[in-house]
A and B are shown apart, each in its own frame.
Chain A
């Protein structure tokens, strides 16, 4: 069953998001590690929206829809901020030595690495829509 949550672009909303993900995944057959990775991917994607979708000091909203079924876990995250494709851009080099390691850029990378599929579109209502899917039969 699909569940949805609407939050404002404030970091403190992450607490609501975490509780929402737990509720949405209740009863899911996903193994615990997969559930953790899905939560991580959703949190990273939403935090990116909170921090960067809207200009600083501008209030905005973010909608998160989660659908857990037997075959997959799906999250659709949308905002009305400036167009931004988080699936584009270079991945960080994870083989760099400590001194050259940049501190940021890991969130988007984790979303791509941990999920089976990640799509971005700017829809007809001028919203950024990010869909992330984790198949559940991959590890079988």
Chain B
């Protein structure tokens, strides 16, 4: 499980992608992202989640998100991400 904390904006999305690529390469199973402390997401963060979701699906893995805060869920709803991401 990987915890998301703080902000997934244009700049932090770049670092986060590197981090998560390592996790996918070492164990392409189920990756769980905990959003309890995620308070901000920009389109760069959304793009990253979409890329991960697709990349993991191609390798037979899964991306799961849990504890997503209401304000972030609203962004997922507006962009239709709530129907393509696996959110608990």
User: Which of A1-9, A78-86, A99-107, A122-130 lies at the interface?
Assistant: A99-107
Q: Which residues of B contact A14 (CB under 8 A)?
A: 9-11
User: Which of A43, A97, A109 has most chain B Cβ within 10 Å?
Assistant: A43
CB distance from A77 to the nearest CB of B (A): 15
Interface size class of A (residues with CB under 8 A): 20 to 34
Q: Give Cα A129–Cα B75 distance, bound, in whole angstroms.
A: 26
B53 nearest in chain A by CB position = A98
Contact in complex: B9, A98 (CB < 8 Å): no
B78 at the interface (CB under 8 A from A): yes
Per-residue B-contact encoding for A26-58, CB less than 8 Å = 1, 0 else: 000000110011011001100100000000000
User: Which of B15-23, B24-32, B42-50 lies at the interface?
Assistant: B42-50
Q: Which residues of B contact A97 (CB under 8 A)?
A: 84
Contact in complex: B50, A43 (CB < 8 Å): no
Q: Which residues of B contact A95 (CB under 8 A)?
A: 80, 83
Contact in complex: B10, A110 (CB < 8 Å): no
Q: Which residues of B contact A114 (CB under 8 A)?
A: 78
Per-residue A-contact encoding for B60-72, CB less than 8 Å = 1, 0 else: 0000000000110
CB distance from A84 to the nearest CB of B (A): 17
Q: Which residues of A contact B53 (CB under 8 A)?
A: 98
Q: Give Cα A69–Cα B83 distance, bound, in whole angstroms.
A: 36
A96 at the interface (CB under 8 A from B): yes
A113 at the interface (CB under 8 A from B): yes
Partner among A15, A36, A101 whose Cβ is within 8 Å of the Cβ of B50: A101
Given A33-B71, A39-B40: A94 in contact with B10 (beta carbons within 8 A) = no
Contact in complex: A106, B79 (CB < 8 Å): yes
Q: Give Cα A106–Cα B81 distance, bound, in whole angstroms.
A: 11
Known: A98-B53, A113-B78. 12 other contacts (CB 8 A): A14-B11, A15-B11, A33-B74, A40-B40, A43-B42, A44-B42, A47-B42, A94-B78, A98-B50, A98-B54, A101-B84, A110-B78
